[in-house]
Every structure is written in structure tokens, then in C-alpha cells.
Amino acid sequence: MVDTIQWYITCFYRFVSIPEERVDNLREEIRSWMDDHQMRGLVLVSTEGLNGTVSGDPEVLPKFKQKICEWAGTEVHFKDSQSNVRPFRRLSVDKRLEIVGMKRPDLVPDEVENHHLTPKEWHEMLSAENPPLLIDTRNKYETLAGKFVGAVDPQIDNFSDWGKYLDSAEIPKEEPVLIYCTGGIRCEKAILEMHQRGFEKVYQLRDGIIGYLAEYPNGLFDGDCYVFDERVALDQNLKPTTRLGNCPGCGLTAEIKRTCEYCGKDYFVCTACQDTWEPVCNKTCRDRWQHVVRKKNAKNQDPLA
Ligand SMILES: [Zn+2]
Ligand SMILES: [Zn+2]
């Protein structure tokens, strides 16, 4: 590890009411502060709060956290990790209708703690002889990388389909149900959507899979935890995965390892694309590789070449 660069990452979210007229200025304030401090990553700003995953120097991150608490006007909880893979190429601070895309801006959590379970409570509940029904709220390309042992996978393509799933799934409403996601934010809305439909005993995993793995590596979570940055997924020790990638053909989770015929780098291709995608690691390599192949073919056909 001596000669590899370490990237320091933190993620956070906070539902807090931000006046509409303040959102644009706040967005710009956050963006310029982060830019001044050479930070990267993605922060979403909305009237319902703040959500972000960012990287920065270890001296800068504590100051950043303090600033976020100031901007939010309240306590914010952060989850840290480190990576030897650069997680973000650039900085984006975006204004959104929601800080988590559910297409339900009307569903805003008003309590900080809404039926949260700590990783320990979660672990104990799932370790019981008859564990309650457990449902993964994430998308199917995420569950492909890994999920909790015994979890129901709704096979949704998008979080905005959560309501549709609930309507079709015939889940008993009076029985306890446990839900989880990557870092906890989706469950804050998923639980409201369940309450609206009459589910009585829903519990969510505080800080999501990331929080659980921090306390229970190699516990009840099976596989890797998909993340929305260049680390692709995190292993049991919250380090970037070495067994998965994003498919250069379709962009989704891929597990078949290959070597690029143009640049020589290893990459992963998914099962759906393995026969149709060219043997290269990305679109740039594909263009160059195709050029080389065309030239070679032309040469073979022309006896004077
Ligand atoms: Zn693919
Ligand atoms: Zn390549």
C-alpha cells in the first residue's frame, strides 16, 4: 500500500427543509467551497435536504463536514471509507427536486429516526431462528453484486418502481418487514411509501449496507455492495471490489474478467454483452481497435500493400 494513492471518501444525507429561494445560492456556495478545496464527487441540493458522496484530502474532510452541518443548519451523520481507486473524476453539485430519486417529492421524512435499526440490532434480528421478512429496496443491477442472505429482491430497474412493486407483491401488512439500501437514504422514503399503504411494522437499516459492513464484515451480507462511482462496488472491508466492474457495453454490473485487446488493461463484461461487445475495455479503445482491425483487413485484401 506504500506506493498507492489513497482516496478519502465520505457520504452523508440529511432531510431538512431548505427554502426554495435558498437552494440555488446554497448550491453555488457548496460548489465553490468544494472547488476551492480540490474536492470531488456528487452533492445533491433540494428543498428536502442534502445528499452526497465526496472525496477530499484527509485534512479537508473534517472542515467539509463542519461546513455541511452549518449549511444544513443541523447535525449530519457521515460515513467514511478509503479507496486506492479514484472514486470521482470531477465535482458536481446539482439542484434536484428530490435528494433521492423516487419521483415522490411529496414523501419527505420529518423525523430523523423513523424505525431505524442499528447494525447490531439488525444483525441480531436476522440471526434469529425465524427472521422477519427482509426486502432489498435497491435496483437489480445492484443486487447482482451482492445482497443480504435471505433477502427478497424485487427486481426493480429504478427506485421509482418501489410503489408498483409493493402493490403487486402481496406482502402481509401486519407482519414485521425489514428493508435496507446502500447508505440508508432510499429506505427513508421507502418506509413512508409502505406506511401510506398500511404496512404497520417496517424497520430500516440505519446507514444501510455500508454501515453494516463497517461493523460486520463477512457477516450476513453476501457479496459486494454496489456504489454509484468509479469504485463500482465495495467488498466486505469497504474497499473497492476486485471481482466486478461496469460493463463497457451496457454500463451495468459485470463479472466476466477480460483483457482489452487494444490497451491491455483488465476489464469486466456482463453475461448479456459478452458475445456482442468487442474485446475492448471502453468505447475509446473500441474505436481505435476497430480502426486497427479495418487496416489489417484492408492490408490482407490488397496484394500490393
Ligand atoms: Zn453489458
Ligand atoms: Zn482498453
| pLDDT value at residue 2 | 47
- Residues, Cβ < 5 Å to ion ligand 2: 260, 262-263, 281, 285
- Cα 12 to middle of ligand 1, angstroms: 30
How do residues 279-298 score in pLDDT, each as one tens digit? 999 999 999 999 999 998 88
Per-residue burial over 87-109, b = 16 or more CB atoms within 10 Å of its CB, e = otherwise: bbeebebeebebbbebebeebbb
How do residues 147-188 score in pLDDT, each as one tens digit? 999 999 999 999 999 999 999 999 999 999 999 999 999 999
Q: For residue 137, what are the domain limits?
A: 116-234
How do residues 244-262 score in pLDDT, each as one tens digit? 999 999 988 899 999 999 9
* Residue type present at position 225: C
- Cα 271 to middle of ligand 1, angstroms: 7
DSSP class of residue 188 equals H
- Cα 181 to middle of ligand 2, angstroms: 33
- Cα 236 to middle of ligand 1, angstroms: 24
Which positions are annotated as active-site residues? Answer: 181
Query: Are 204 and 211 within 8 A, CB to CB?
Result: no
Is pLDDT above 50 for 218? yes
In a domain, 296, yes or no: yes
Q: Place 1 in a pLDDT band, splitting at 50, 70 and 90.
A: very low
The residue among 215, 234, 253 that closes a domain is 234
CATH for 79: 3.30.70.100
How do residues 57-112 score in pLDDT, each as one tens digit? 999 999 999 999 999 999 999 999 999 989 999 999 999 999 998 888 888 887 66
Q: Same structural domain for residues 23 and 84?
A: yes
Q: Give the chain's mean pLDDT.
A: 93
Q: Same structural domain for residues 213 and 260?
A: no
Is pLDDT above 90 for 299? no
Q: Place 302 in a pLDDT band, splitting at 50, 70 and 90.
A: low
The residue among 95, 124, 159 that closes a domain is 95
Query: Is 144 buried (19+), middle (13-18) or exposed (0-12) by CB count in 10 A?
Result: buried
Domain tally for the chain?
3
Ligand nearest to the CA of 279: 2
In a domain, 293, yes or no: yes
- Please state whether 297 falls in left (phi above 0), alpha (psi between -120 and 50) or beta: alpha
DSSP class of residue 187 equals H
Q: Same structural domain for residues 305 and 204?
A: no
In a domain, 111, yes or no: no
In a domain, 155, yes or no: yes
In a domain, 148, yes or no: yes
